[in-house]
Amino acid sequence: MPAASELLAAARKAREHAYAPYSNFAVGAALATKAGDVVTGANVENASYPVGMCAERTALFSAVARGHRDFDAIAIVGPEGVALTPCGACRQALSEFGDMRVVREGCDDVALRDLLPDAFGPRHLARTGI
Ligand code: THU
């Protein structure tokens, strides 16, 4: 598992590719898989504002599309000086794949399940037979 500092460095590198001309709020994310891979993402905005996507979900969807489903940790960096924490939609999207460590700048690591307690997930659908 990469050290928190390595994962943050990967997220900082990914942030260089953020496309954020509307908010000017560049975000980078780096997702560490249990197999030892690191998949990164950046936020990608759109002139049709709601169509834009957060860095965390860009990294997650990219990782899943490459066959990864088991994750150890995600590191997230926003603009310098901003203590960033993932938005609710990203917490939900990440929690689909179970718990993981969330690494942020300037604060202690936290478990995703503590950022999104009692999350709705696949187990709820299973109970309905879906
Ligand atoms: N954003 C992220 O990429 N991740 C977060 O955790 C919070 C917000 C993006 C969305 C949008 O492009 C910009 O930051 C401002 O909200």
Pocket test for ligand 1, best of 12, 87, 102 (most atoms within 8 A of CB): 87
Q: Is 45 part of the annotated catalytic residue set? A: no
pTM of the predicted model as reported, rounded to 2 decimal places: 0.96
Residue nearest atom 13 in ligand 1 by C-alpha distance: 25
DSSP per residue, the chain:
---HHHHHHHHHHHHTT-B-TTT----EEEEEETTS-EEEEE-B--SSGGG-B-HHHHHHHHHHHTT---EEEEEEE-STT------HHHHHHHHTT---EEEETTS--EEHHHHSTT---HHHHHHHT-
Residues framing ligand 1 (Cβ under 6 A): 20, 23, 25, 27, 43, 45, 52, 54-56, 76, 84, 86-87, 90
Per-residue model confidence (pLDDT) at position 128: 77
pLDDT confidence tier of residue 14, bands split at 50, 70 and 90: very high
Nearest-CA residue for atom 2 of ligand 1: 54
* Residue-wise pLDDT tens digits, 24-81: 999 999 999 999 999 999 999 999 999 999 999 999 999 999 999 999 999 999 999 8
The pLDDT of residue 97 is above 90? yes
pLDDT score at 130:
74
